[in-house]
Amino acid sequence: MDWLNAVVQGSLLGGLYALFAAGLSLIFGVMRLVNIAHGDLIVLAAYLGLTVVTMLGLDPFVALLIVVPVMAGFGYALQRIVLNRTLGDDLLPPLLVSFGLSVILQNGLLEVFSADPQKISAGALETMSVSVAGLSLGVLPLLTFAIAIGVIWGLQWVFYRTALGRAFRAVSDNQDIAQLMGLNRRHIFGLAMALALAVTAIAGILLGIRTSFDPSIGGGRLIFGFEAVIIGGLGNLWGTLAGGIILGVAQTVGAKIDPGWQLLAGHIAFLVILAIRPNGLFPRISA
């Protein structure tokens, strides 16, 4: 039963990792951009959520009504003003710019909020649990997993069932032809980044409720998201959920064997899958 509990808890943890990864997967799928600052943007969203909850006295999930639009607007402005200028055949400029953004965000958050760990309070939700088949499951992890499924389903629906999604796929397949057909690729890229950071806002709030955070943890969140994306398959949104679950289960099973193996087990699982399936378990198939 203990091993089953570890697998179930790891699967629920995978929901949070899938939220970390969904924005990365979306951005890579649309514009082939690997955003090195993604983890720090998650932390930024957590701090925005903390500020809104503290100053306005709102419930963290109500605070999403403020944090999500703010992060989406920031994402659109960031893409239009900064990142669009770096996109081209050379992959190095956007990587360098996003790395610089990561450094700026870390030091800016350190200056404003200090290095002290912070946490978003969600009251009784943090400790509530339900019993399922003899297992005690936290309500917050269950809610996080359900939100991850809902978010990924929503992104999938936007990507394949809306005019905006058709525009995303058009610029992803061939930017020049899409531009000739009347699509403003700079605007489309801005909308893609806005959508990605809206998801990042949700991930940041849930991260802040689940555990303490400080300005330095962005790199670790980036690695978890990146590994989930690679395991699931680049550009495959549902694959990010599978990748997050595999990563989460590997970590909890590793911790069950030895507490010091938790992170190592996840990295080993990532390397094994990468060696066997370099394109991930579920690489995207063009639709």
Q: Is 260 exposed, middle or buried (0-12, 13-18, 19+ CB in 10 A)?
A: exposed
How confident is residue 287, by pLDDT bands cut at 50, 70 and 90?
Answer: very low
> Is 142 part of a structural domain of the chain?
no
Predicted confidence (pLDDT) per residue in 18-64, tens digit: 999 998 889 888 888 888 999 999 999 999 999 999 999 899 999 99
Predicted confidence (pLDDT) per residue in 1-11, tens digit: 678 888 999 99
How confident is residue 172, by pLDDT bands cut at 50, 70 and 90?
Answer: confident
> Is 9 part of a structural domain of the chain?
yes
Phi, psi for 118 (deg, rounded to 5): -125, 165
Average pLDDT over residues 165-172: 88
Q: How many domains does the chain have?
A: 1
> Is 243 part of a structural domain of the chain?
yes
pLDDT at residue 234 above 80?
no
Percentage above 90 pLDDT, the chain: 61
- How would you classify residue 136: left for phi > 0, otherwise alpha for psi between -120 and 50, otherwise beta? beta
DSSP label of 118: B
Q: Which tokens go with 41?
A: 């943007």
> Is 128 part of a structural domain of the chain?
no
pLDDT at residue 135 above 90?
no
How many CA within 13 A on the CB side of residue 242? 15
How confident is residue 136, by pLDDT bands cut at 50, 70 and 90?
Answer: confident
Predicted confidence (pLDDT) per residue in 236-286, tens digit: 888 899 999 999 999 999 988 888 888 899 999 999 998 998 888 887 654
Q: Picking from 66-80, 102-116, 159-173, which range would have the lowest pLDDT averaged per residue?
A: 159-173
Asked if 213 and 40 count as a contact pair (C-beta separation under 8 A), the reply is no
pLDDT at residue 76 above 50?
yes
pLDDT at residue 88 above 80?
no
Cα separation of 263 and 281, whole Å?
21
> Is 261 part of a structural domain of the chain?
yes
This prediction has a pTM of 0.92
> Is 241 part of a structural domain of the chain?
yes
Asked if 280 and 57 count as a contact pair (C-beta separation under 8 A), the reply is no
For position 285, what pLDDT does the model report?
Answer: 53
C-alpha angle 250/255/261, rounded to 5°?
85
Give helix 218-232 / helix 237-257 axis angle, nearest 10°. Answer: 110
CA dist 153 → 64, 144, 149, 182 (Å): 19, 14, 6, 28
pLDDT at residue 183 above 80?
yes
For position 39, what pLDDT does the model report?
Answer: 94
Mean pLDDT of the chain: 90
Average pLDDT over residues 165-189: 84
For position 92, what pLDDT does the model report?
Answer: 86
> Is 143 part of a structural domain of the chain?
no
> Is 226 part of a structural domain of the chain?
yes
For position 281, what pLDDT does the model report?
Answer: 85
**Domain of residue 49, residue span:** 2-122+160-276
Average pLDDT over residues 108-124: 92
Cα separation of 73 and 138, whole Å?
33
For position 286, what pLDDT does the model report?
Answer: 45
Give the 3-state secondary structure of residue 153. helix
